[in-house]
Homo-oligomer: A and B are copies of this chain.
Amino acid sequence: MSENNSFYTSERIFEGAEKLLEIWFGPTSGSIPDISSEFDNNRPLRNGLRLVERDVWDEMLDIVKCQVLNVVHNDYFDAYLLSESSMFIYPHKIILKTCGTTTLLIAIHRLLEIASEYCQLNKVWRVFYSRKSFVFPEAQLGPHKDWNEEVKFLDQLLDNGAAYTVGKSNGDHCWFLWLNSPQNDILLTELESAHPLDETGSDFQDITIEILMTELSSETLNKFYHNPSEGESGTQGGARIDRKTGLCDIYPEAQLDSYLYEPCGYSANGLLRDNYFNIHVTPERNCSYASFETNIPVGHGTIADVIHKVIAIFKPEKFSVTVFKTREDNDNKKLLVVSVDDINGYSRKDRILYEFEDYDLIFAQFEREKNFA
C-alpha cells in the first residue's frame, strides 16, 4: 500500500498479507508505569510506551522498512497509520502490523530496547506473532522468506514460544501463529486485580478478530482506486472511500483515520474508547487482498455479525477468519465454534479449534459457492 515504493504501476504485484506482532509488557516492580492505569477506564493516562518520542518510533520503523503517514490519539492509545499498515501504542502494549516486504521481526530487538530504555518495561509478558501464507514468499526478506525461519528467529529472541501452522498448509489460506506462554503468573494476577469484575461477573478479557480476504470482486476493487475527478487521495480520499464503501458503518461511533493511496490502495485505523480496528486493501486485480482486524469486544452472537458486515463490503472469493479469545468458561469454545458457522453464499472448507493455556482460537476458511458467483 506504500505510495513510496509499492505502486510503481497500477497492476504491480504487491504482498497484501500482513505480519502482525503484539507485545504486552508486564509491570516492573518499583518502575514508573502503573499497569492498572491501562485497565481502569476512569484514569486514562499518557504513560508507559505512549511517552516514547515520535523520532524513536520512526527510527524503529526504519528497521521494519516503513514510515508513519498519520497519527491520531484518544485517551487510551495512539494509532499510527503506516505506509505499510498500522501501529497501535498503549501504555503497556504495542500492536505492529506491516505488509509488503517489510522486515517486522528484525525490529523486535530494538522494540524491546525502547521499552526498557524509555519506560523501564523490562518484562515481556505476552507475545503473539501471526500472518497468512504469502502469495510471493520469494520476494520476502530475511527470516520472512520461510515460516520455519521466522520461528527460529523468535525462539532465539523470546522464551517459551509455541508455533502453529493453522489450516491447510498446501492451500492459499494457511495461517501461521507463534505465541509464548507467560512464565510469571504473578503478572496475570496483577492485571486481573487491576481490572475489577464487570457486571456479567467475568474478568480480564482479550479478543482479536481477523478476517483475511482474497480475490475481491471487480466492483469492490474499483472503489479503492484513486479517481482524480472525485477528489484528492490521502486522508481526504480515505474519508470519501469510508462513505462510498460503507466501511464507516461497521463501527459508526468510532473515530476513523483513513487513507487512499495513489494510484490505488486503502488503509484505515479505527479508535473506539480503548479498542482499535484496522482495514487494509490491496486492490490490484492479480493479487487483490483486504484485511480487517479488531480487538473490540463483541457478544458471541455478534462475531458472526461483524463477519457478515465485512464480507458484504469486500465480496471476496475466499476468506479466512480467526478469533482469538481469552477463555472464560467451557461454553466459550462452543460459542466460538458457532460464531464461524454458515456464511450465506460461501462453503466452509475448514474449521479448527485450538485450546491454548488461557486462550481459545477458532480458525475457519470459506470459499464462495459456485452457484453464488
Interface residues of A (CB under 8 A from B): 148, 151, 155, 161-165, 167-171, 333-334, 337, 350-356
Contact indicator A169/B161 (Cβ below 8 Å): no
- In the docked arrangement, what's the CA distance between A231 and B355, Å? 48
Contact indicator A353/B350 (Cβ below 8 Å): no
Known: A162-B168, A164-B169, A333-B337. A353 touches B356 (CB 8 A): no
Residues of chain B lying within 8 A (CB to CB) of residue A169: 148, 151, 163-165
Known: A351-B355, A352-B352, A353-B353. A170 touches B161 (CB 8 A): yes
Residues of chain B lying within 8 A (CB to CB) of residue A334: 334
Residues of chain B lying within 8 A (CB to CB) of residue A151: 169-170
- In the docked arrangement, what's the CA distance between A175 and B170, Å? 16
Cβ distance A358 to chain B, nearest Cβ, rounded Å:
13
**CB-CB nearest in chain B for A352:** B354
Residues of chain B lying within 8 A (CB to CB) of residue A170: 151, 155, 161-163
**CB-CB nearest in chain B for A360:** B351
* Residue in B155, B162, B350 whose CB lies within 8 Å of A354: B350
Question: Known pairs A164-B165, A164-B169, A353-B353. 6 more at Cβ < 8 A?
Answer: A162-B170, A163-B170, A164-B168, A337-B353, A352-B352, A352-B353
Contact indicator B171/A162 (Cβ below 8 Å): yes
Question: Can you list 26 A-B contacts (CB < 8 A)?
Answer: A151-B169, A151-B170, A155-B170, A161-B170, A162-B168, A162-B170, A162-B171, A162-B350, A163-B168, A163-B169, A164-B165, A164-B167, A164-B169, A165-B165, A165-B169, A333-B337, A334-B334, A337-B353, A350-B355, A350-B356, A351-B355, A352-B352, A352-B353, A352-B354, A352-B355, A353-B353
Cβ distance A138 to chain B, nearest Cβ, rounded Å:
15
Residues of chain B lying within 8 A (CB to CB) of residue A167: 164
Cβ distance A368 to chain B, nearest Cβ, rounded Å:
17
Residues of chain B lying within 8 A (CB to CB) of residue A161: 170
Cβ distance A297 to chain B, nearest Cβ, rounded Å:
24
* Residue among A165, A168, A337 with the highest chain B CB neighbour number at 10 A: A165
Residues of chain B lying within 8 A (CB to CB) of residue A354: 350-352
